[in-house]
Amino acid sequence: MMSRQAFLCSLGSLYLSLLFVFLLMDVYARPANNSALKEKPADSKDENEILPPDHLNGVKMEMDGHLNKEFHQEVFLGKEMEEFEEDSEPRKNRKKLMVIFSKVDINNDKKISAKEMQRWIMEKTDEHFQEAVEENKMHFRAVDPDGDGHVSWDEYKIKFLASKGFNEKEIAEKIKNNEELKIDEETQEVLDNLKDRWYQADNPPPDLLLNEEEFLSFLHPEHSRGMLKFMVKEIIRDLDQDGDKKLTLSEFISLPVGTVENQQAQDIDDDWVKDRKKEFEEVIDANHDGIVTMEELEEYMDPMNEYNALNEAKQMIAVADENQNHHLELEEILKYSEYFTGSKLMDYARNVHEEF
């Protein structure tokens, strides 16, 4: 019989052999057209500084057309969202939630009305706006190397390719001399999309240079009505299957979600479809005619739309309004804490009166 030590050694050798095989497979599986200009993997922090984010805080839909799963928490918690972590102590989270309740309840009647929740949602959304403005100042400095207050497309292109692992000096020299860049197909496609977005953010009269405010619109289209329209066009383009520049329910729920290989994956897909169907029928399709126009999607995407904020407030109240009085009491918010904060609190009822 093989000894325990010999067995463990055998397992270790097998593991190293498999690891070596997988590494070889990874090398040979890489695209053949990768440029020799690439020098190292992209640093995710640098890339995130200059690449428009897919996820926009306080916006109901992401740039790729997926629903923002964290929207309710973002517009209820604002900057405090990061404080409600899954591994945080429930008692501390409970106290934080009680403090937020008291801030939303501006008339101190121990319950939250739709109007109070609407005001709070608008306040938290504006918080996200201001946070994006502050971050943009740092990001703009990163792509404005000469500090002249303007960024050309070529300057941005150099920084972007450097963040993707290309040699910045070599890229800059080739662009300066109008030499051809050997860029893989995937990166080139991203660049083409970014260039379209860049031109849209360039306010009239167009000079192909972005100042700090225009760069903010480039990174965060929700800050500009013109860029918001452009973002909507992109989403419609990605989802519209018959080219009529409108969305039907079937088009909206047909985003590819991966191959279903087991029942668990099927359940996830089913939940995904249910969520999108409900959002389409109850919220986005404002006149309930079964068609979503660009105008309807634009109103839905606008984070500073007060009518949307009021509708959102009513929906959020409806989720936890167990006594059906169209208001939220503290006990109800604590019970449905996972919906509002992403954090599930235990023993909420036993502690509510002694702590608040």
pLDDT tens digits, 260-304: 455 455 455 778 889 999 999 999 999 999 999 999 999 999 999
Judged against a pLDDT cut of 80, whether residue 322 lies above it is answered with yes
From first CA to last CA, the distance across the chain in angstroms is 66
Gap between the Cα atoms of 272 and 278, Å rounded:
10
Selected residue with higher pLDDT from 27 and 54: 54
Gap between the Cα atoms of 143 and 141, Å rounded:
5
Question: What percentage of the chain has pLDDT greater than the value 90?
Answer: 62
- Give the residue-averaged pLDDT of 146-161: 92
Q: Is 335 exposed, middle or buried (0-12, 13-18, 19+ CB in 10 A)?
A: middle
User: pLDDT value at position 71?
Assistant: 94
**156-175 residues labelled b (16+ CB within 10 A) or e (exposed):** bbbbbbbbbbbbeebbbebb
As a residue count, the chain comes to: 356
How many degrees, rounded to 5, is the angle at CA 52 between CA 47 and CA 55?
105
Q: Is the dihedral angle over the CA atoms 82, 84, 89, 94 positive or is it negative?
A: positive
Amino acid (one-letter) located at 228: L
Query: Tell me, what DSSP letter sits at residue 284?
Result: I
Nearest to 100 by CA among 303, 340, 280, 297: 340
User: pLDDT value at position 28?
Assistant: 36
Question: pLDDT, tens digit, for every residue of 227-272?
Answer: 999 999 999 998 999 999 999 999 998 855 444 455 455 455 778 8
- As a whole number, the mean pLDDT across the chain is 82
